[in-house]
Chains A and B, each alone.
Chain A
Amino acid sequence: MKSNFLFVLFSLLISSTGWANSYILEDVPFPAELPPEIGDLAFDQNGKLYACLRRGDVVVSQPGKDLAKIEWQVFATGLHNGMGMEVIAPGKIVVSQMAELTLIEDLDGDGVADRYRNLCSDFGLSGNYHETNAICPDGDGGFYIALGTASHNGPTFYTSRGEYKHDGRRGRNFAAVKQKGYVVHYQKDGTLTPFANGFRMHNGIARDESGNLWCGDNQGDWRGGSPIYHIKKDGFHGHPSSLVWDERYEPFGMPLFYPRKLLDELYDKPAMDLPRKMMHSPGEPMVIQSKNFGPFTGQMLVPDENGRRIVRLMPEEVDSAWQGAAALFYENAQLRAGGVRIAPSPDGKSIYYGSTTRGWQRPDEGIQRITYNAKAPFHVKSCSLTVDGFNIGFTEPISNPDKLSQNIKIRSYRFEYGYRYGSGELDKKDHKILGIQKLDDSDNPTWGVAVENLAPGRIYELSFSIKSTSGSEMKSPFVQYTVQRLKRPPSDYPATILRTERGLQVSLGGKPFATYDNTSSNKPIIWQVTGPDGQKMLRDWPLKKDTPGEAHDHIHHQGIFIGHERISGANFWHIDRPNSGSIEQRRLIETRSGKDRALIKTLNAWKNKQGETMAADTRTLSFFGDSNSRTIDLEFFLHATNGPVQIDAFKDGFFAIRTHTDLRLQASPKDGVKQVFGHARNSEGDQAKAVWGKRADWVHYFGTVEGKPAGIAFLSHPTNPSKGKQKSWWHARDYGLISANPFAPEKIKGDGGRTIPKGQSLGFRYQIIFHSFDNHDDAKIEERFARYSKKPAHPTSIMPPHPGYPEDYLAKNK
């Protein structure tokens, strides 16, 4: 008796708090003979629902309130696994099928299509079953097409459509033919251009009202969880197979076997990486534009291709990229498995959910309608990142708000990025809540939650054990926020980046700071740098030839530059030797700006005189400052992409700056340098000329430049590799060259040469400070170094080790 009573009570509780109370699920009837394998769903302006079926038909109906009365008619047929469809007008649709983008029209108005026009077939088709395509409109009469990769669970044909590359055929999911793993842009004039790559199987693509492009990607190799991408133009979204079709990476060999650190550096990380408890491969995201579908307008829904659930996404832009929180929106055993597409109904009150599973799961397919029941589910309505935690809003007022800090649990973890299929939760941490703040005085305020040890590159799970004031409980009471980037604090000296002919011009607080210049020299340099008081901090010559009072020595000393006298036989320091090589920018990986610092990250190829590539580098430069100092942080990795990188011991290298002539320690009247104002000292107390050839944490040049107090401090991060964990060896000259050289000859007490094995990377970090003090003490270099020592490096994913190269290990087996 008692247990019965409890059972009834329990059922009541479930029905009053579950999904069912907020959203009504109905099956949309389908003819029994017709396989309801939904490739895509869309409404026309008259409220007709078009369903693109994977076997080849497009069927049409006009669903009313009573779904039992629904009637379906065939509109088109004969399409190969169409997984993308847009309705242009009644009787006029565009479908992306395996082989092409097809415009389908009913010309005679009898309700059945009679014209099938090939809009675009300029991408390849290998014959693999997995190469499916999805589309979204570009807002200008064209389309973005998501071209899925092939799967190793199937072959290619002997005869493929379009150019074929053997290297593209290698790997688990592969891109043997053109632009598999890409998003390409079909413009209305008929041209097809690459837009972004690095995708595995982005089954669905969506464009929001602001023009942002979104897609998910299947779980699988090179995927920690189920990623959701904000698609970045020219970006690399992590799966390396498609890179064989991108000429920017052509110098570096086989992408599948790139050094792991290089791939991680190139990877434009997902906005969200959903764990397996939320998602087992996302279908197409749908932006909720309607205000009639509950309180989540502006957020996105994404179905699970392998589960009976829909996830809600709350993206926001943080530090020039998108990321955000995700929550389970709807989970129900009656929902069909294999959700791939969601179409909003014309009245905005419902969504039509289309599923298909043929080919990967037991068939359980069809269309279902989910209608808002005018009662919002109790859950997290908004979750955004702050500088020190999260701001959280709920759909209903919460009970016991004073106990909120005990009723939220926060933990974090990260996924590894690598060739394996999926990742476990690595490096797990529990986080203390440092404080909770009510951010407004409304009945249902937003709560500011301060979190201990917030770090980028991690996924934060916030779990709630709270009820609403009306007694509702939260279903699946958690959100996952993928913190790829921290929120930057506000600054009085916001850093901005402007593209110019020479490169990228960085300004601080609206005043010029530095130019990242990849056109003026035979390598990328930074030139000029403007100090806090407006002076030029670097020698102009030879980049600008007519500046008076400059010595014209060492023509290769150009601004701030990176190079070395001999790497794998080539000279990357001097520019005029028979074996002088060059460093060529291959990709501007990213820029970030607008907040307290600007960031530039590039990929560069180190080429010898003959044009052969010896190595790759990735460098991340951060620019920031305040009223009396301006700082450039450098994170640099040299990657052995094209074989072992042999760095020979020479004094001329590696990270170098040629200062303004005024900061020289010694005049040189024969060169026209009559008077100089520079002093120097290092962390060990060595002064003036004596800083050359010494080991130190930093070297500081100071005095006056253009008559104003100024100085340059060059800091080497204590984690930099060196022999016996010694401090950096400095090649710092009295004529204004300051260079940190980790590869100086041992006979002058340097670290000697080093070989980076093929497939490995070597990293260094430095900081250069330009300040407005004429003496050492006021510049507080010791304090700055202590701060810099504790500064964490750019986040990196933990990766499985490099597997080695087939040509090496396969030979050994024989």
Chain B
Amino acid sequence: MKRNQSFVLLSLSFLLLFIPMTVAQNFKDTGYLTFDTKPMGTVERPLILRTYCPDPKLDRNLVLGNHSRGTSVAKYTARSGKENNSVQSPIPGVPAAIAVNLGKRLSYVWDTTECRLLYAWTDGFLDMKNYWGNKAVGHRKGFGYVPELYGFLFYKAQGKHPIHIDGKSIAELGAPRYLGYDLDKSKQPVFSFSAGNHTIQFTPRIGPDTQTLQLTLATAGKEKVSYKSPKTQIREVSSEPGKLVVVIRPNAGDRYSSDQKAAALKEATIAKGEELYNSMGCVACHTTDGGLNHGPTFKGLAGSHREFITASAQKADDAYLIESIQNPGAKTVKGYLMGMMPPYQLQPLEYDSLVLFIKKYK
């Protein structure tokens, strides 16, 4: 409790020190991405966010068929130049999509590789904390940095690309090419892409009912545009040469929450320490094998004699190790940069787990 309070105070004073408080008048109106890791737009002020997007178990062959497949690899140690027997697997995610939010009414993800709508939801958007970190630490989550979807997912793309031009599926015209988007008067995007010789404009908008989307599909010429989908899932609004308007109905109903309550630890363990080492980003700067990096290696660290830039030398006992995680600015080991490492506020048993983990590397 106390730790949390001092943490907030620390962050605040940090802000006061470093960021002069001047806010331009029109800033609030325009829709920018702030320190808030749960950014939201409104219908009047849509929010467009390009980021790695979550993959809510989309069909990788049919929906993400223009993507290549990541593989698992043996882990590699730069210290020895060798691979080892442990394996690093890929994680789910969509690399080049665009997320759009119109407040609680609608969020959707449109993908520039598949050139199609991937999924849509209400009551939330993307929680960016895994990717952006918090204001004071600013570190992404090691191997789980993909933003988290939260809200009620009501639509998920299924099957091959639904758009047909002159009776031919887009999927048969080769990989589509994303051309860009324009913002119309509603400040919402109108996406453009080409497939074969056709140029298609794709305009997703809030549908007439909750949890619906209206899509306007227009081609540059007068091609016949059709949208192949089970009848229960779409309603055609209008159709004319070169233009089709359909309403998409819900085909999914999944509640997503980004609030993962950390289960209280009962005891400190090396395994927990290792998990924290990987998930909090320690691994980015501290090797465990004696290799050089931004921070000192963990190998031989515990119990060793440490010399600091300003503080007097001491033995790396448990208290020192915890202090170095909690308040790393207190002592900086000679040869390293001061102020490099952010402070990490953890549960006491989490500190202890990290200490156990560090001690493993003698």
Contacts and interface: CB of A to CB of B under 8 A. Distances in A.
Interface stretch (A5-13, A419-427, A708-716): A419-427
A306 B90 contact: no
B66 to A, nearest CB: 8
Contacts of B31: 74, 77
Given A157-B90, A360-B294, A809-B82, A55 B132 contact: yes
B308 interface: no
Interface stretch (B68-76, B158-166, B239-247, B349-357): B68-76
B19 A366 contact: yes
Nearest to B184: A114
Interface residues of B, number: 92
Given A176-B70, A361-B342, A810-B74, 5 more contacts: A73-B26, A97-B50, A121-B178, A127-B91, A418-B81
B292 interface: yes
Contacts of A124: 68
Contacts of A53: 33
A554 interface: no
- Looking at B25, B90, B281, which has the most chain A CB atoms within 10 Å of its CB? B90
Given A154-B143, A160-B67, A803-B81, A127 B294 contact: no
The secondary-structure label for the interface of chain A is: loop
A114 B182 contact: yes
B145 interface: yes
Given A27-B20, A32-B15, A114 B337 contact: no
- Looking at A27, A126, A158, A419, which has the most chain B CB atoms within 10 Å of its CB? A158
Interface stretch (A164-172, A207-215, A470-478, A624-632): A164-172
Interface stretch (A64-72, A399-407, A595-603): A64-72
Interface in B173-203: 178-183, 189
Interface residues of A, number: 93
B140 A359 contact: yes
Contacts of B67: 159-161
The secondary-structure label for the interface of chain B is: loop
Contacts of B80: 803
B137 interface: yes
Interface of B: 15, 18-27, 30-36, 47-52, 55, 60, 64, 67-71, 73-76, 78-85, 88-96, 98, 112-113, 131-133, 135-140, 142-143, 145-146, 178-183, 189, 281, 283-285, 287, 291-294, 335, 337, 339-343
B294 A280 contact: yes
B68 A813 contact: no
A125 B95 contact: yes
Nearest to B50: A80
B181 A421 contact: no
Nearest to A423: B292
Given A118-B180, A421-B293, A359 B138 contact: yes
A142 interface: no
A244 to B, nearest CB: 13
21 contacts: A34-B34, A35-B135, A55-B33, A68-B22, A78-B49, A80-B51, A115-B181, A116-B180, A118-B180, A154-B140, A157-B92, A159-B69, A164-B70, A166-B71, A171-B76, A220-B78, A276-B335, A280-B294, A360-B294, A361-B294, A420-B292
Contacts of B180: 102-103, 115-118
A248 interface: no
Contact of A157 (B75, B95, B133, B283): B95
Contact of B33 (A77, A158, A170, A809): A77
Interface of A: 27, 29-36, 53, 55-57, 59, 68, 70-74, 77-80, 97-100, 102-103, 112-118, 121, 124-127, 129, 151-164, 166, 169-172, 176-177, 220-221, 276, 280, 306-307, 337, 357-364, 366, 418-422, 800, 802-804, 806, 809-810, 813
Contacts of A100: 96, 112, 178
A804 B81 CA distance: 8
A30 B146 CA distance: 28
B95 A127 contact: yes
Given A33-B34, A159-B93, A362-B341, A172 B78 contact: yes
A155 B89 contact: yes
Contact of B24 (A31, A78, A158): A31
B82 A803 contact: yes
